[in-house]
Amino acid sequence: MLLHLTDLSDEPLQSQISRQIRANILAGELTADSSLPSIRAMAREQHVSVITVQRAYEHLLREELIHSRRGKGFFVSNVSKQNKKEISKQRLMDNLERPLIAAIDEGLPAPEIIKIVKKIIEKINNQK
């Protein structure tokens, strides 16, 4: 499994792992019942500690995006398209709330914030 982890990010490694696996699941790149590398294999592959991977997997287990089968390993859970969309929406809301509160507190009116968000979306779409 190809993940892009960096020590230079403010985001902890375990969060980078869970975020990237979550993104692959929600985007449909990892389908239901796809197997994930074992904790030890992922740790070896990504050059991180076993505990880091274990915590990332535990987070995905709590979100019910993956499940474990005793003696078999970890697998992607069957998540409906609707649930994937709802999870994505909720994560977006959670991640945008603090920066939006800060922008409003700093005096930016909602229409300007919306323009900025649209510019960012256009920039991202142009990079793809």
Count CB neighbours of 42 within 10 A.
Answer: 22
Predicted pLDDT at 2: 83
Residue 73 neighbours by CB under 8 Å, 6+ apart: 35, 36, 38
87 lies in a domain?
A: yes
Q: What angle do CA 93, 98, 103 make, to 5 degrees?
A: 110
24 lies in a domain?
A: yes
DSSP, res 65: S
pTM comes to 0.80
Predicted pLDDT at 42: 97
Q: Which two tokens stand for residue 87?
A: 């999870």
Predicted pLDDT at 86: 93
Segments forming the whole domain that contains residue 95: 81-127
**Residue 117 backbone dihedrals phi, psi, to 5 degrees:** -60, -40
Q: What is the pLDDT along the chain (128 residues), one digit of tens a residue?
A: 789 999 999 999 999 999 999 999 999 999 999 999 999 999 999 999 999 999 999 999 999 999 999 999 999 999 999 999 999 999 999 999 999 999 999 999 999 999 999 999 999 999 97
Q: Does one domain contain both 28 and 63?
A: yes
Going through the chain in order, the beta strands assigned E by DSSP cover 35-36, 66-69, 73-76
Predicted pLDDT at 128: 77
Closest CA to 77 of 25, 24, 23: 25
7 lies in a domain?
A: no
- CA distances, 9 to each of 1, 16, 100, 120 (Å): 20, 9, 22, 20
Q: Does one domain contain both 22 and 67?
A: yes
Query: For residue 56, with 0-12 CB atoms within 10 Å meaning exposed, 13-18 middle and 19 or more buried, which class applies?
Result: buried
